[in-house]
């Protein structure tokens, strides 16, 4: 169990009047437990949960298929294992909560994750407990990264950046998108990632499509190549996107890219504690419009245990606020000046990982020099 995260959650419980918090999503389970139950993100009903009391006691719930995983990582923490095909996980969860002295307590639980049917059965099994939503509280705690989280995200940022950049160096005109994907897959594992969640390889006219995987399309001179990957370690993600051209840039590509580079540095100058997320977004949109490029709804977001976390640099509400929040030291952002529809048959994107520091921001994805377009031979 992660002592620093437990201390954060205990303090939040005391401030919010909770007797316990139940982390039941894969993201929040990993946040407090410090490891991922492999099948939990893949099979929704295979519940893995951490119950943490306001006095710092923990209990773990898990499916029998993953019992050895849970006990290997946390042999000293009481674990309650439910049989996948013969037991109701909510009945076992209720038993765990009763044995932890929480039968009549105020318990925070992630109601945006737990299915309604499961929630109803949990209430039936524990009728005297008060279950209240805690997903916003947990999301808020996850916004400010610990020193260990920052170091992990720095490592992941480098893995993502290097895996893309080195993959683009191995291909040439006539190679396929599949060749890029193969090189990038090898790189991401060789550099130390445990998994990757999403890979985007979009070249030529396909570079205008936001989220597409690799195809058999071959690279032609003048193609624009948008490549993005999200490597994973311990449930944490980094997201980096790089744009390259094959041999030579098409018309307007260099001018648009330099404009996006200027957008990046404009935002980096603004990213610091106390900065308004909406103000950064508005400055980006104003700069983007100087080349008559179409706007997008956000240009950055928090990232960590989820691909997209608060805060958002954009029109999107942040934890219930209508479209604004202030940045704080310790936040890690994916910042992505982009334009999918440039009007010239290609899209461009330059996504970086950035840490909000005490006085400004630090670029975590610093392997590639993106001040100029990357070139595929």
CA dihedral 87, 93, 97, 100 (to 10 degrees): 80
Q: What is the pLDDT of residues 11-20, one digit of tens each?
A: 999 999 999 9
The residues near 248 (Cβ < 8 Å, ≥ 6 apart) are 221, 222
pTM, two decimals, is 0.95
For residue 82, the cross-strand partners are: 63
Is residue 322 over pLDDT 80? no
Average pLDDT taken over every residue of the chain: 97
Q: How many whole angstroms separate alpha carbon 268 and alpha carbon 360?
A: 8
Q: How many whole angstroms separate alpha carbon 104 and alpha carbon 91?
A: 16
Is residue 28 over pLDDT 80? yes
Q: What is the DSSP string of 14-78?
A: HHHT-SEEEE-SHHHHHHHHSS--TTTTTSTTS--EEEEETTS-EEEEEEGGGHHHHHHH-TTS-
Q: How many whole angstroms separate alpha carbon 41 and alpha carbon 316?
A: 25
If phi > 0 it is left, if psi is from -120 to 50 it is alpha, else beta; for residue 274 that is left
Q: What is the pLDDT of residues 214-235, one digit of tens each?
A: 999 999 999 999 999 999 999 9
- DSSP tag of 292: T
Identify each DSSP E strand in 185-268 by its residue range.
195-203, 224-233, 236-237, 240-246
Identify each DSSP E strand in the chain by its residue range.
20-23, 49-53, 58-63, 79-82, 106-109, 130-133, 195-203, 224-233, 236-237, 240-246, 298-302, 309-314, 332-335, 338-339, 348-349, 352-356, 361-363, 374-376
Average pLDDT on 48-53 reads: 98
Is residue 142 over pLDDT 80? yes
Is residue 317 over pLDDT 90? no
Q: What is the pLDDT of residues 262-275, one digit of tens each?
A: 999 999 999 999 99
Is residue 321 over pLDDT 90? no
Percent of the chain with pLDDT strictly greater than 90: 98
The residues near 346 (Cβ < 8 Å, ≥ 6 apart) are 204, 205, 207, 208, 223, 224, 250, 253
Q: What are phi and psi of 310, to 5 degrees?
A: -65, 150
Residue 319: predicted pLDDT: 80
Q: Which of 92, 64, 62, 60 is nearest to 74 (CA)?
A: 60
Q: How confident is the model at residue 23 (pLDDT cuts 50, 70, 90)?
A: very high
Residue 358: how many other CB atoms lie within 10 Å: 8
Q: How confident is the model at residue 110 (pLDDT cuts 50, 70, 90)?
A: very high
Nearest-5° Cα angle at 317, 311 to 320:
95
Residue for token pair 């299915």: 115
Establish how many alpha carbons lie within 13 A of residue 43's alpha carbon, considering only the half-sphere containing its beta carbon. Answer: 12
- 120-158 in b/e form (b: 16+ CB < 10 A) is ebbeebbeebebeebbebbbebbbebeeebbebbbbbbb
Q: Is 198 exposed, middle or buried (0-12, 13-18, 19+ CB in 10 A)?
A: middle
Is residue 323 over pLDDT 80? no
| Strands 332-335, 298-302: pairing kind | antiparallel
Residue 318: predicted pLDDT: 83
Q: How many whole angstroms separate alpha carbon 20 and alpha carbon 27?
A: 18
């Amino acid at each position: 169990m992660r002592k620093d995260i437990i201390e954060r959650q205990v303090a939040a419980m005391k401030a919010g009047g909770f007797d316990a918090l139940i982390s039941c999503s894969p993201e929040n389970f990993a946040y407090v437990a410090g490891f991922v139950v492999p099948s939990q993100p893949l099979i929704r009903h295979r519940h893995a949960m951490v119950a943490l009391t306001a006095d710092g006691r923990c209990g773990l719930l898990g499916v029998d298929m993953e019992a050895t995983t849970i006990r290997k990582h946390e042999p000293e923490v009481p674990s309650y294992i439910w049989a996948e095909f013969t037991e109701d996980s909510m009945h076992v969860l209720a038993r765990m909560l009763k044995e932890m002295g929480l039968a009549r307590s105020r318990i925070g639980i992630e109601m945006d994750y737990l299915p309604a049917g499961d929630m109803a059965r949990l209430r039936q099994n524990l009728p005297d407990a008060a279950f209240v939503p805690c997903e916003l509280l947990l999301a808020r705690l996850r916004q400010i990264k610990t020193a260990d989280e920052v170091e992990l995200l720095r490592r992941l940022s480098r893995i993502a950046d290097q895996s893309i950049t080195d993959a683009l160096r191995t291909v040439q005109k006539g190679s396929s998108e599949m060749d890029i994907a193969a090189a990038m897959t090898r790189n991401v594992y060789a550099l130390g990632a445990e998994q990757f969640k999403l890979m985007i390889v979009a070249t030529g006219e396909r570079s205008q499509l936001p989220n597409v995987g690799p195809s058999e399309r071959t690279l032609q001179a003048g193609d624009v190549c948008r490549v993005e990957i999200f490597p994973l370690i311990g449930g944490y993600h980094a997201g980096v996107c790089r744009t390259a051209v094959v041999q030579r840039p098409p018309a307007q590509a260099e001018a648009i890219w330099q404009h996006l580079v200027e957008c990046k540095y404009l935002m980096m100058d603004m990213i610091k504690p106390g900065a308004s997320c909406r103000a950064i977004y508005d400055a980006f949109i104003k700069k983007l419009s100087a080349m008559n490029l179409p706007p997008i709804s956000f240009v950055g977001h928090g990232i960590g245990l989820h691909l997209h976390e608060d805060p958002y640099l954009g029109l999107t509400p942040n934890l219930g606020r209508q479209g604004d929040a202030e940045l704080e030291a310790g936040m890690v952002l994916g910042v992505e000046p982009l334009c999918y529809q440039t009007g010239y048959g290609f899209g461009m994107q330059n996504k970086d990982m950035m840490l909000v520091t005490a006085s400004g921001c630090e670029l975590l994805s610093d392997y590639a020099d993106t001040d100029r377009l990357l070139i595929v031979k």
